[in-house]
Amino acid sequence: MIVTLAGGVGAARFLEGVVQVVPPETITVIVNTGDDITLHGLYISPDVDIVTYTLAGIVEPVNGWGIAGDSTNTLGMLKQLGADTWFLLGDRDLAVHIRRTELMRAGHTLAEIADDFRRALGVASQVLPMCNEPVSTHIETDAGLMHFEHFLVQRHAQDRVLGVQFVGAEAARPTPGVLEAIRDAEAILIAPSNPIVSVGTILAVPGVQAAIAATPAPVVAVSPIVGGAAIKGPAAPMLTALGYEVSAYGVARCYAGLIDAMVIDTVDADLADGIRALGIEVVITNTIMRGLAEKRALAQAALDAAHQVVTK
Amino acid sequence: MIVTLAGGVGAARFLEGVVQVVPPETITVIVNTGDDITLHGLYISPDVDIVTYTLAGIVEPVNGWGIAGDSTNTLGMLKQLGADTWFLLGDRDLAVHIRRTELMRAGHTLAEIADDFRRALGVASQVLPMCNEPVSTHIETDAGLMHFEHFLVQRHAQDRVLGVQFVGAEAARPTPGVLEAIRDAEAILIAPSNPIVSVGTILAVPGVQAAIAATPAPVVAVSPIVGGAAIKGPAAPMLTALGYEVSAYGVARCYAGLIDAMVIDTVDADLADGIRALGIEVVITNTIMRGLAEKRALAQAALDAAHQVVTK
């Protein structure tokens, strides 16, 4: 089994490569739920949905979230009825949130629901929300403390980041299967996701970090920072706020002590020695995923790095 | 003020005529909520929505429910996720149920929400759900007791009707404004709705029947039964089950003692004497509403009947 720790769009694109390289049914994806938010009374789990839609082949390809070709008639009417519609939700996408909310009220866990949905959508890989308990990533900013989605989507990441809180993380428990998957994996791949608010959130669930530290499996991270900038999303101000430099080296520092190897982009080759000095093997390759061939190559590079660690 | 007691499609079509004859803002519609049902975790109020959509000019014109030109992408995805989708819900329509459910959870009453929505959709008439408490019309059948919508929509009214229960009605209270509107009305019009499960439900809310009996306003009903058959819906088996004949006379018997006059169709002219013998004035006219002119004429006939009662 291959275990991948995943945030949203970057991770999902990486996973599109991983499923080309190893049988999809041998992959377990542990997904960040810190971005989860209730809007219009509906429970929305953005990263779980992005990963599921992407692996189901129905994700909207340009943005990487939502469902391809989806309409927005419900949201338009919600707006007409006075609802605040800053978070874009398509009609098909809303069905997922409606059904999830109904099933949660009926007592089903996030993990049970995610498993139901990925099967219904034909996804062969396991999709595991990191925990069933509510964890909510909040960003400390100069405009106050706010939910991650308010920071990112509603306010367009315009506020100065001062810190990050994972509200509820201390009371969370890894989803059944998460610790076992990490223990028994052939390799742990940390997707090119935000190290603070995607992977960091997963690592904040008590027991996960220790399980990764203890697993005999090689642990390989793919840097989401290329040439000193995030490929997507607000990683840069978060790294800065937490005292890391905005670079593959900064990401390596986040993961120091936890990972065995790191895949960085060719443009960051000059950072390799610094990363190696942290006790991390380095693989240098193209990490920009423009198409399926590049996704596949990046996945192969990460798996090769894992193999190198094991055979070394 | 003109007060109308209303069920769904028949009442809404009648109201399209009433708003042509009197200023819309002088009309208060008291709407049955016994058909309300929670599906997919969303609170649906079919008759309130039908009346509101119709008066807003957005109702789907052929069926008389739902929103014209609505898509059903959300429902399609709900089905793919394993939900039971026997009750057709369009995407724009779902926004109404989503928003209503959210506002109810936030503590708003059905009446407050209905008022919000009719204003948002540009409806000048007052739309008052009969009560804020949950009342649920259940049909006793040879296949068991079932919610009205299960009987009508899911099982296509195929089961033999043995009786009707208004679950929760005893604990309900008329919505604030209902009793005052009835007391102060110039006329009470009972729309051509099902006398058992639409108007009967409203009358089952404690205090409503007494208020109608006590009002100085003339009370005029329009028969929903023409030529021995219901224009729409399952009135016939219900009238039969409760011991009424399926005719305008049977409807008159339902309302005997409560109404002053009744509008019946020309095809039922032979029933007029029998109805008059119940102490009810009779106006004979065309009651089939094919277009706006006929809706307007029927509304005028009902108002004329009210006027005749007053001046007599």
Which residues on adjacent β-strands are paired with residue A230? A225
Per-residue confidence (pLDDT) for residue B137, from 0 to 100: 97
Which of these, A307, A305, A299, A303, lies nearest to A15 by C-alpha position?
Answer: A299
Across the beta sheet with B161-167, the strand order is: B144-147, B136-141, B161-167
B141 has pLDDT over 80: yes
Q: Looking at chain A, which residue has its C-alpha nearest residue B38?
A: A102
- For residue B259, the model assigns a pLDDT of 98
- Contact by Cβ (8 Å): B73, B37: no
pLDDT at B10 over 90: yes
Whose CA is closest to B83, among B130, B22, B32, B41?
B41
In this structure, which amino acid lies at residue A25? E
Sign for the CA dihedral angle at B267, B51, B169, B137 comes to positive
Report how far residue A294's alpha carbon sits from residue A287's, in angstroms, rounded to the nearest whole number: 8
Q: Which two tokens stand for residue B290?
A: 């094919």
> What is the length of chain B?
312
Contact flag B70-A75 (C-beta cutoff 8 Å): no
Q: How many CB atoms lie within 10 A of CB B286?
A: 15
pLDDT confidence bin for B310, thresholds 50/70/90: confident
For residue A235 the two structure tokens come to 């990683």
Domains along chain A?
35-129 (1.10.8.240)
CB proximity list for A282: less than 8 A, separation 6 or greater: A261, A262, A263, A264, A272, A275, A276
Reported as a single tens digit per residue, the pLDDT across A177-192 is: 999 999 999 999 999 9
End-to-end Cα distance, chain A: 20
- Backbone φ and ψ for B54, nearest 5 degrees, come out as -65, -50
CB B303 within 8 A of CB B2: yes
Q: Does A98 touch chain B (CB under 8 A)?
A: yes
CB atoms A81 and B40 under 8 Å: no
Q: Give the number of other CB atoms < 10 A from CB of residue B308.
A: 15
Nearest chain A CA: its distance from B98 CA (Å): 7
As a whole number, the mean pLDDT across chain B is: 97
For Cα atoms A57, A61, A67, give the angle at the middle one, nearest 5 degrees: 60
Each residue of A185-240: pLDDT tens digit? 999 999 999 999 999 999 999 999 999 999 999 999 999 999 999 888 889 999 99
Q: pLDDT, tens digit, for every residue of B218-239?
A: 999 999 999 999 888 889 999 9
- Is residue A183 within 8 Å of A163, Cβ to Cβ? no
Tokens of B172: 């309900």
Tell me how far apart the alpha carbons of residues A70 and A61 are, in angstroms, rounded to a whole number: 12
Give B-chain residues touching A70 at CB under 8 angstroms. Answer: 73
pLDDT tens for residues A263-280?
999 999 999 999 999 999
* Full 3-state SS string of B94-137: HHHHHHHHHHHHCCCCHHHHHHHHHHHCCCCCEEEECECCCCEE
Inter-helix orientation angle B46-56/B110-120, to 10°: 20
Q: How far is B212 from chain A (nearest CA, A)?
A: 33
pLDDT the model gives residue B118: 98
pLDDT per residue as tens digits for the range B145-157: 999 999 999 999 9
Residue A1: pLDDT above 80? yes
Residue contact A98–B42, C-beta within 8 A = yes
Q: How far apart are CA A170 and CA B200, in angstroms?
A: 55
- Residue recorded with tokens 């404690």: B206
CB-defined contacts A:B, below 8 A: 102
In this prediction, residues B303-309 reach a mean pLDDT of 95
How crowded is residue A117: how many other Cβ atoms within 10 Å of its Cβ? 24
Residue among A67, A78, A101 minimizing CB distance to B99: A78
Query: Out of A40, A82, A93, whose CB is closest to B120?
Result: A82
Identify the DSSP state of A294.
H
**Residue length, chain A?**
312
State the Cα torsion B289-B291-B297-B302 to the nearest 10°: 40
pLDDT digits (tens, 9 = 90+) for A3-54: 999 999 999 999 999 999 999 999 999 999 999 999 999 999 999 999 999 9
Nearest CA in chain A to B75: A95
Q: Does A87 touch chain B (CB under 8 A)?
A: no
Which of A43, A92, A103, A105 is the best residue to mutate to test the B interface, defined by the most B CB atoms within 10 Å of its own CB?
A92
Identify the pLDDT of residue B231.
84
Provide the shortest C-alpha distance from residue B117 to chain A (in Å).
6
For A225-280, what is the HEC assignment?
A: EECCEECCCCHHHHHHHCCCCCCHHHHHHHHCCCCCEEEEEHHHHHHHHHHHCCCC
Percent of chain B with pLDDT over 70: 100
Contact: A71, B82; criterion CB under 8 Å: no
Q: Would you call A83 an interface residue with chain B, using a CB distance cutoff of 8 Å?
A: yes
- Residue A57 contacts B, CB cutoff 8 Å: no
Q: Is B179 on the interface with A (CB under 8 A)?
A: no
A99 to chain B: which residues are within 8 Å by CB?
A: 40, 78, 81-83
pLDDT for B82 equals 97
**Interchain pair A98, B40: CB under 8 A:** yes
Compute the distance between CA of residue A13 and CA of residue A18 in angstroms, rounded to an integer: 9
| Token pair listed for B157 | 């009214």
How far off is chain B from A298, nearest CA to CA, in Å?
32
Q: How far apart are CA A13 and CA A11, in angstroms?
A: 5
Give pLDDT, residue A233: 85
Residue A312 confidence (pLDDT) above 80: no
* pLDDT single digits (tens) A61-120: 999 999 999 999 999 999 999 999 999 999 999 999 999 999 999 999 999 999 999 999
